Amino acid sequence: MNIIEITNLHKIYNESEVNVHAVNNVSLNFKEGEFAAIVGPSGSGKSTLLNMLGGLDEPTDGKILIDNTDLSELKSSDLIQFRMQNIGFVFQSYNLIPVLTAKENVEFIMHLQNRPKKECEKRTMELLDAVGLKGRENSRPSKLSGGQQQRVAVARALASKPKFVLADEPTANLDSKSTENLLEIMEDLNKKENITFIFSTHDQRVVNKAHRVITLEDGKIISDERKKGTGSDS
């Protein structure tokens, strides 16, 4: 079953006289358990697409269904609620709340969901363990490396038990070792817990790990390849 259905999506920015067609007639489906990369040159519309998919930006035209919910039909306050319950986010940088420790950052979203305290703590520890940060739970972001911060961000994105995780260039600010490490963790979570990841990247090594690669150019999909022998495209 598709958890995401995108049909004829458009985004046009009206920059003074020039209209920028950032996303041009994109139709895409994602199934549960996918590990998909969106690639393309700078300015091809990757971020724009991901932002609309995450309900952060409004399409000019077209439709996005997430688990049969039409995002355009949600009021802005419901949309925030919807994001919290259904979508995990990992941003390129400055993801974490600087005054909260790693553990509190992960718990934060569960507190927003009003989950019982016990459950919050348990899941937080499991997640921090899964991203290899056991022992660093009480460090604030400023005391963590960029790679460690991104791993906390992944843990946080998963804390709310979302239907899928969106990551816009999660490794752009990381060195190659941290990049590899983060990818391994994401892949591991994808394999073991069947978590859906959709991420954009410029990094060929990240692309190589993906099970599906969607290539954009000038806002249009120019290719959508699934690699053999991987997860959910069976």
Partner 1 sequence: MNTNIKLAWRNLWRNRRRTLITVASIFFGVMLSAYMTSMQEGSYTKMVDIVVKFYSGYMQVHHEDYWENKSINNSFEYNQELADELLANKDVEFVFPRLESFGLASSKELTKGAMIFGIDPLGENQLTKIADKVRSGKYLEAEDEGVLMGAGLAKYLQLGVNDTLVIISQGYHGVSAAEKFPVRGIIKHVSPELNKTIVYMSLAKCQEFFSAENRLTSLVINVADNDVMKRAFHDLKKKMKAPYSIMSWEEMQPEVVQQIESDRAGGIIMKAILYIVIAFGILGTIMMMIMERRREFGVMVAIGMRKGKLASVIFFETLFIGLLGILSGLLVSYPLLLLQSANPIPLTGQAAQLMEEFGFEPYMFFSTAWQVFSQQAISVSVITLIIAIYPVISIFRFKVIKALKA
Site residues (vs Mg ion, CB under 5 A):
47
| Alpha-carbon span 23 to 59, nearest angstrom | 9
The answer to whether 47 contacts ligand ATP (rule: CB under 6 A) is yes
Structure tokens at 103: 């553990």
The answer to whether 149 contacts ligand ATP (rule: CB under 6 A) is no
- β-pairing, 220-226 vs 87-90, is unpaired
| Alpha-carbon span 227 to 107, nearest angstrom | 35
Among 211, 170, 210, 186, CA closest to 127: 186
DSSP structure class, residue 153:
H
| Alpha-carbon span 57 to 61, nearest angstrom | 12
- Rounded least distance, CB 40 to ligand ATP, Å: 6
| Alpha-carbon span 22 to 154, nearest angstrom | 27
Q: Which does 109 bind (CB under 5 to 8 A by kind): Mg ion, ligand ATP, partner 1, none?
A: partner 1
The answer to whether 42 contacts ligand ATP (rule: CB under 6 A) is yes
The answer to whether 45 contacts ligand ATP (rule: CB under 6 A) is yes
Q: What is the binding site for partner 1 (CB under 8 A)?
A: 51, 54, 56-57, 77, 80-81, 83-85, 88-89, 91, 94-95, 97-100, 108-109, 111-113, 156-157, 160
The answer to whether 43 contacts ligand ATP (rule: CB under 6 A) is yes
- Rounded least distance, CB 175 to partner 1, Å: 23
Q: Are 160 and 119 in contact (CB under 8 A)?
A: no
Of 3, 4, 6, 22, the one binding ligand ATP by CB under 6 A = 22
Of 15, 68, 204, 229, the one binding ligand ATP by CB under 6 A = 15
Q: Are 4 and 65 in contact (CB under 8 A)?
A: yes
- Rounded least distance, CB 52 to partner 1, Å: 9
**Footprint on this chain of ligand ATP (rule: CB under 6 A):** 13, 15, 20, 22, 40, 42-48
